[in-house]
Homo-oligomer: A and B are copies of this chain.
Amino acid sequence: MVTSRDVAREAGVSQSTVSYVMSGKRPLSDDTLRRVDEAMTRLGYQPNSRARALAAKRSHVVGLMIPLSPRIEAASLMRFIQVIASEARGHGHDILLVTEDEGASGMQRVIGEQICDGLILMQVETDDERIPVVRDLKVPVVVIGVPGDAESITCVDADYRSAAELAVDFLAARGHRQVTFVDWPSGLRQRDVNFIERFDAGVAAAAQRSGIEVLQVEGGAHRETIGRAVRSGLEASNYPAFLVPDSGVQAMLQESLMLEGRRPGLDVSLIGSGEDAPQQIVPLTTIDFVPNVVSARAVELLVAGLDGRRELDGQVHLEVPTITERESTIVVPT
């Protein structure tokens, strides 16, 4: 193993000078700098992260707690993980996986044993047992999702309320006077995840504002349920519009529509979400809940906290979703 001491000897300086070359915390002559740099490359020096972590009390490792049973589709979850990992890397940090089956004690372990400098928690629910534990941890933690009691917890999430408003406004602007809101699966409603309530509130607010009538129908990945949803929607208006935030059912819904002889983008509007929406038979106009923006924000907040650049503010940070228009929405003739 090549140590900083070896580099020092090779460059004819002291070990501490090598350390200062790396950190830049003391002024150095150009000559010394060059000689040390050369010695490093010549010897193929790589600093030992263990020694570094022990001495500096910083491991540059961030714990990421991933959900056991994802509420969201696995593809989206993977997306989060990928973005978080590479963003962290961009800030000089690595990601340690903490699985949810360890429970809250997993957090205490990785922090107590000082494996990680900080934590990111994914998919925090309204009544999440991890939240009180987070408050007692003496390290920076950023949470994805919004717990019921967010007091002094730094959270990041998509702004589901705005998302709903954007979608309803989008339909209103194209002349729809009615929208059929195909609900999230009931499992989600039972599990206490408040982004649903926020979405609901957005739908209601936008509908009221623009005078649109909302028909809320049951969702869930059953053919019959979706069939019923479609039929109700078609009955409700001459120019039906479907708002389907749950990406799991939109393929089925689209097929169901076609069985009824309707086609999104031709005589029906359909707004979906998710990664596979562009690949549907009719590419869907979608709500993008900007998972990569949310992930990047979480990392950035945490790293800023770790580097002491900015104290974690304990606030809720909501990232604004966007609507991408594709071919599944129509303009109602006036």
Residues on A lying within 8 angstroms of B by beta carbon are 46-51, 53-54, 59, 61, 64, 66, 68, 70, 73-75, 77-78, 81-82, 85-86, 89, 94-99, 101-102, 109-110, 112-115, 221, 223, 255, 279, 281
Contacts and interface: CB of A to CB of B under 8 A. Distances in A.
Nearest to A59: B50
A109 B46 CA distance: 8
Given A54-B54, A94-B115, A102-B89, A68 B48 contact: no
Contacts of A113: 46-49
Given A46-B109, A85-B99, A95-B97, 19 more contacts: A46-B113, A48-B54, A48-B114, A49-B114, A49-B115, A50-B53, A70-B78, A73-B74, A74-B74, A74-B77, A75-B75, A78-B78, A81-B97, A82-B99, A86-B99, A94-B98, A95-B96, A96-B96, A255-B255
Nearest to A52: B113
Contacts of A97: 64, 81, 85, 94-97
The 7 residue pairs across chains A and B that have the minimum distance between CB atoms? A74-B75, A46-B112, A95-B97, A50-B54, A50-B53, A49-B113, A74-B74
A223 B68 contact: no
Q: Which residue, of A64, A75, A78, A98, has the highest number of chain B Cβ atoms within 10 A?
A: A78
Nearest to A275: B74
Given A47-B113, A102-B89, A94 B94 contact: no
A219 B233 CA distance: 35
A46 B111 CA distance: 10
A82 B68 contact: yes
A116 B49 CA distance: 10
Nearest to A109: B46
